[in-house]
Amino acid sequence: MKFLRYPGGKSKLLSYLVNFLPTKKDIKGTYIEPFVGGGSVFFHINPETALISDLNSELIELYKGIKLYPHKVWEIFESFPSGKTAYYEIRDKQMDGKPLYYKAARILYLNRTCFKGMWRHNSNGVFNVGYGGEERRWVITHQNILELSKTLRKANIHNSDFEEIILSASKNDFIFLDPPYKPGEKDLMELHYRNGKFLFDEQVRLSETLKSLPKSKNIRWAMTNSSHKDILKLYQDFKIRKIPFGTSDKPGIQTKDSKEVLITNY
């Protein structure tokens, strides 16, 4: 079951990535994911202890809601009516003062019925993706929400910038990083995510943060990123593997020349 439809989601690359990632048993410390997004790697590994974070505050409310109130989230998700008119009503509802489980159910509903699982906001921070249809809504079940909640209960969930999260790592932790990027390119220019652009200076800040981790702490990390030469240059002292397949420039089309790499410090 794919939990969320999420831009840049790694579910299609999972079968390749897991060959190079530690298993739950191999992680002696905490599993840390600073750009968790749809969380496909996190949910797959299902770690014993975890710290997950993302700047997308609605996404983080969704995770916290499911962690604490799985039944209530399901009950409200199920009660939302179907169809285009209902979609726009629920999308445009005022959320101030609503309980966490209500906000979580709304985000889950929007994610599963909006156009292509996009996550876009207007300049006032209001979700403004159009209606996409119902066909993906009931792919998720009450049982799925309970299982997600079980995994999330082993995680601390934050809404912080990546630097703070990476620097909080301690001895023997493992960090998986999937920053926003467009395969083959150095900058992400579109306002595709809640908090906008991820330009090259952010990539530089990310590489410097990783390089500042003390060797004595034995922290392992793995990252997916664009194969743009300027990004590869930032990681020339690390192990870089070209991902042998992926999504091409045309959405939904698979290619053997993915322009994505997996970088590890082990």
Site of interaction with ligand SAM (CB under 6 A)? 6, 8-10, 34-35, 37-38, 40, 54-56, 161-162, 178-180, 193-195, 198
Smallest gap from Cβ 168 to ligand SAM, in A, equals: 13
Tell me how far the alpha carbon of residue 97 is from its chain's centroid: 26
Smallest gap from Cβ 86 to ligand SAM, in A, equals: 27
User: Nearest residue by C-beta to ligand SAM?
Assistant: 37
Smallest gap from Cβ 98 to ligand SAM, in A, equals: 22
Cβ neighbours, 10 Å, residue 142: 13
Residue closer to ligand SAM, measured from CB, 30 or 76:
30
Smallest gap from Cβ 232 to ligand SAM, in A, equals: 18
Residue closer to ligand SAM, measured from CB, 159 or 265:
159
Six-digit token string for 264: 């590890």
Six-digit token string for 193: 């995510």
Smallest gap from Cβ 231 to ligand SAM, in A, equals: 14
Residue closer to ligand SAM, measured from CB, 46 or 195:
195
Residue closer to ligand SAM, measured from CB, 55 or 104:
55
For the chain, where are the alpha helices, taking DSSP H only? Answer: 14-17, 40-45, 57-68, 70-79, 84-91, 100-113, 142-152, 162-167, 200-211, 229-234
CB distance 111 to 127 below 8 Å: no
- Per-residue burial over 159-180, b = 16 or more CB atoms within 10 Å of its CB, e = otherwise: eebbbebbebbeeebbbbbbbb
Please name every residue paired with 158 in a beta bridge, in sequence order, or none if there are none: 53
Report the first-to-last Cα separation within the chain, whole angstroms: 30
Q: Distance (Å, rounded) from C-alpha 55 to C-alpha 193?
A: 9
Residue closer to ligand SAM, measured from CB, 76 or 177:
177
Residue closer to ligand SAM, measured from CB, 144 or 218:
144
Smallest gap from Cβ 218 to ligand SAM, in A, equals: 24
